[in-house]
């Protein structure tokens, strides 16, 4: 045994296995040559960020489109930053969006698959085996520096090198400790971490390759990076090479914030003699900020950074998935135009088509995608989704949003318990409402999210209060003392019947309008406007306002059919009382 091997034994007396044990246990996968093995590897530090979710989608699509494997790995080595329960939040978010890992850490906190455990805190023995090997090879060493002293040393070295070229070598003073010194320090009960003995010298360059960004030359690692912290657990820089090698990952998809420490990962892969993996570094998602400039979507400012936002707003999951594909692959929009009804799983996803510049995350566009998707749902689906949304509204998230947005916060202003109760007690009525203008050649596309529904259909779901018209303004129509509207609605109230077919219904409106001196023929009205109190369109608008409180609504005949005689007549009467 040489001194390095003796040091390794002293440092890791409990590690009895050799790396060959793990190499044999986790054999290379038997997959097609181009099948991609990917993993989504969140740290349990809170809610799921849209940027992370974007990455998870990429992982999933890349694996699925190549007949590969998609894994979920929990990176919980930083116990200080951990927020209890966020592992489950991440897994539930994936499940909600139908992203089902083939392998990984599961929602009941067990492992599924042959390459586990998939939670890093359960893999300490594995990391230590590889660290022990590096120590035995003289490629890593124990470092006993207490932080202030250690830092002092590093700063001195730093200054020397900085004077030279401007690059920083951070070689640790403990890299040259002898076996005797290590023995003594251990005997004295000193704490230690394990560091890489970096070979990098100022001016060294390495070539790195990113599937999307291509090949690049960057400065080599110059730092004796920590491989195992003094609590025995590795930081990301060591866990990443060990895990991705043993789980036989082919492509690592991660945020571009990892590019700056990439040279460390490359040197560790080399030290361990691992075959390199492919990388895709995903750009950060941006939005147009308050001052009109492009800026990062931020956790602290933007509620939409949090995946809970989309559930809270009631944006269907299909819309979020589809919109993300839109910004992920430039050719998605074309494909969708050519295949309007195809399942997104059929989209030929291509990693090469991911952009490198920060994509805009545009809520307005997302809502357009969503309107289209909702317009294709059945009335029953709209009912189930809306009820589910109203019942599961997240008060806690709402309060967080309120605090985040301050005076820019626009609350819903609707009693959701009342809405949910109404929907439950009037199921068929609600479904009939959602069916209005739905099963036509050109269904309406004006609902973007379930939270639009209470306002959009307030006149159907007992949320419309006719007294809101008492300021006499509806859109740009002023109803104050409007005798024409008053006499029209009065007369209409006498003739309305929900038993009428559409033609009879419309003929009645025309009849009443005519009696009240509205022009039925618009050409005639244009020629002699002074002879009439208005035209047929205006008469219809007054009736529409009386029944719905709005100047614009889905098909009024269908609305009346669903509301039925009593309610329609009651609304007309309320209108009369307000206007007169
Ligand atoms: N736990 C890391 C993160 O959340 C994972 C990075 C990676 O995917 O390699 O950023």
Which domain CATH number covers 529? Answer: 1.10.10.350
Cα of 41 vs centre of ligand 1, distance in Å, is: 5
Predicted pLDDT at 153: 47
The answer to whether 306 and 50 are in contact (CB under 8 A) is: yes
Question: Of 454, 484, 513, which marks where a domain is finished?
Answer: 454
Same domain assignment for residues 442 and 317? yes
Closest CA relative to residue 65, chosen from 354, 355, 351, 353: 351
CB-defined site of ligand 1, < 6 Å: 41-43, 75, 240, 252, 254-255
If one counts the domains in the chain, the total is 2
Cα of 257 vs centre of ligand 1, distance in Å, is: 10
The answer to whether 134 and 227 are in contact (CB under 8 A) is: yes
Predicted pLDDT at 101: 98
Residue with the smallest CA separation from ligand 1 atom 9 is 254
Using the predicted structure, report yes or no on whether residue 126 has a pLDDT greater than 60: yes
> H-helix or E-strand containing 195?
strand 193-196
Q: Domain containing 442: what range?
A: 294-454
What are 365-403's pLDDT values in tens digits? 999 999 999 999 999 999 999 999 999 998 888 998 989
Closest CA relative to residue 492, chosen from 548, 580, 575, 579: 575
Three-state DSSP state, 208: strand
The answer to whether 469 and 551 are in contact (CB under 8 A) is: no
Please indicate, yes or no, if residue 248 is contained in any of the structural domains: no
Mean pLDDT to the nearest integer, 454-460 = 90
The answer to whether 10 and 215 are in contact (CB under 8 A) is: no
Same domain assignment for residues 303 and 432? yes
The answer to whether 118 and 105 are in contact (CB under 8 A) is: yes
Cα of 253 vs centre of ligand 1, distance in Å, is: 8
pLDDT band of 355, cuts 50, 70, 90: confident
Same domain assignment for residues 370 and 505? no
Please indicate, yes or no, if residue 485 is contained in any of the structural domains: yes
Residue with the smallest CA separation from ligand 1 atom 8 is 254
Residue with the smallest CA separation from ligand 1 atom 2 is 42
Cα of 180 vs centre of ligand 1, distance in Å, is: 39
By CB atoms closer than 10 A (0-12, 13-18, 19+), residue 243 is: buried
The answer to whether 4 and 135 are in contact (CB under 8 A) is: yes
Closest CA relative to residue 242, chosen from 132, 103, 101, 105: 132
Please indicate, yes or no, if residue 128 is contained in any of the structural domains: no
- Which atom of ligand 1 sits closest to the CA of residue 75? 1
What are 2-51's pLDDT values in tens digits? 999 999 999 999 999 999 999 999 999 999 999 999 999 999 998 899 99
Please indicate, yes or no, if residue 555 is contained in any of the structural domains: yes
Please indicate, yes or no, if residue 57 is contained in any of the structural domains: no
What are 477-512's pLDDT values in tens digits? 777 778 899 999 999 999 999 999 999 999 999 999
Beta strands at 69-72 and 103-105: parallel, antiparallel or unpaired? parallel
Same domain assignment for residues 468 and 441? no
pLDDT band of 414, cuts 50, 70, 90: confident
Probe ligand 1: pick from 75, 240, 256, max atoms within 8 Å of CB? 75
Same domain assignment for residues 424 and 556? no
Q: What residues does 143 pair with on adjacent strands?
A: 193
d(CA 577, CA 486): 9
Please indicate, yes or no, if residue 243 is contained in any of the structural domains: no
Please indicate, yes or no, if residue 526 is contained in any of the structural domains: yes
Same domain assignment for residues 302 and 445? yes
The residues, ordered by sequence, that sit 6+ positions from 494 with a Cβ below 8 Å of its Cβ are none
Cα of 276 vs centre of ligand 1, distance in Å, is: 17
Same domain assignment for residues 402 and 520? no
- Which atom of ligand 1 sits closest to the CA of residue 255? 10
- Which atom of ligand 1 sits closest to the CA of residue 244? 9
Same domain assignment for residues 328 and 390? yes
- How remote is the C-alpha of 565 from its chain's centroid? 45
Same domain assignment for residues 332 and 449? yes
**Residue listed under structure tokens 């998605």:** 332
Single pTM value for the model: 0.88
Please indicate, yes or no, if residue 186 is contained in any of the structural domains: no
Same domain assignment for residues 436 and 306? yes
């Amino acid at each position: 045994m040489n001194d390095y091997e003796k040091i390794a034994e002293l440092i890791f007396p409990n590690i009895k296995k050799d790396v060959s044990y793990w190499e044999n246990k986790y054999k290379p996968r038997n997959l097609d040559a181009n099948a991609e093995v990917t993993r989504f590897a969140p740290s349990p530090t809170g809610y799921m960020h849209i940027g992370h979710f974007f990455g998870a989608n990429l992982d999933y699509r890349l694996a699925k489109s190549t007949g590969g494997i998609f894994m979920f790995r929990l990176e919980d080595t930083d116990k200080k930053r951990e927020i209890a329960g966020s592992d489950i939040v991440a897994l539930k978010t994936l499940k909600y969006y139908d992203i089902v890992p083939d392998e990984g850490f599961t929602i009941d906190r067990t492992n599924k698959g042959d390459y586990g455990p998939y939670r890093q805190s359960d893999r300490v023995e594995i990391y230590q085996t590889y660290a022990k090997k590096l120590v035995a090879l003289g490629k890593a060493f124990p470092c006993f520096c207490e932080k202030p002293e250690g830092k002092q040393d590093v700063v001195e070295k730093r200054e020397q090198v900085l004077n030279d070229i401007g690059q920083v070598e951070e070689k640790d003073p403990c890299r040259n400790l002898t076996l005797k010194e290590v023995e003594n320090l251990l005997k004295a009960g000193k704490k230690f971490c394990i560091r890489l003995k970096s070979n990098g010298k100022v001016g060294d360059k390495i070539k790195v390759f990113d599937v999307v960004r291509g090949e690049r030359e960057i400065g080599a690692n110059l730092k004796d990076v920590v491989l195992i912290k003094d609590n025995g657990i590795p930081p990301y820089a060591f866990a990443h090479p060990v895990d991705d090698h043993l789980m036989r990952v082919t492509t690592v998809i991660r945020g571009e914030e990892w590019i700056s420490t990439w040279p460390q990962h490359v040197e560790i892969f080399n030290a361990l003699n691992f075959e390199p993996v492919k990388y895709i570094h995903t750009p950060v998602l941006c939005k147009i900020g308050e001052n009109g400039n492009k800026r990062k979507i931020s956790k602290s400012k933007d509620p939409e950074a949090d995946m809970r936002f989309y559930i809270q707003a009631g944006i269907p999951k299909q819309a979020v998935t589809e919109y993300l594909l839109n910004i992920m692959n430039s050719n998605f929009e074309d494909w969708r135009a050519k295949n309007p009804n195809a399942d997104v799983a059929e989209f030929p996803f291509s990693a090469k088509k991911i952009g490198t510049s920060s994509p805009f995350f545009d809520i307005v566009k997302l809502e357009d995608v969503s309107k289209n998707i909702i317009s294709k749902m059945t009335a029953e689906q709209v009912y189930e989704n809306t009820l589910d949304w109203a019942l599961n509204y997240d008060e806690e998230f709402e309060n967080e949003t309120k605090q985040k947005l301050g005076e820019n916060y626009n609350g819903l202003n609707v009693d959701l318990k009342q809405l949910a109760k109404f929907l439950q007690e009037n199921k068929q009525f609600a479904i009939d409402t959602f069916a209005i203008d739905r099963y036509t050649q050109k269904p309406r596309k004006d609902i973007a999210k379930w939270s639009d529904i209470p306002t959009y259909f307030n006149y159907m779901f007992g949320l419309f209060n006719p007294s809101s018209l008492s300021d006499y303004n509806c859109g740009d129509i002023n109803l104050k003392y409007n005798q024409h509207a008053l006499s029209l609605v009065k007369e209409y109230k006498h003739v309305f019947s929900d038993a009428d077919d559409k033609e009879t219904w419309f003929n009645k409106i025309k009849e009443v309008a005519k009696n009240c001196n509205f022009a039925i023929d618009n050409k005639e009205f244009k020629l002699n406007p002074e002879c009439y109190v208005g035209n047929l369109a205006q008469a219809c608008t007054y009736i529409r306002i009386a029944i719905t409180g709005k100047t614009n609504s889905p098909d009024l005949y269908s609305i009346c059919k669903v509301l039925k005689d009593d309610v329609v007549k009651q609304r007309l009467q309320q209108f009369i009382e307000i206007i007169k």
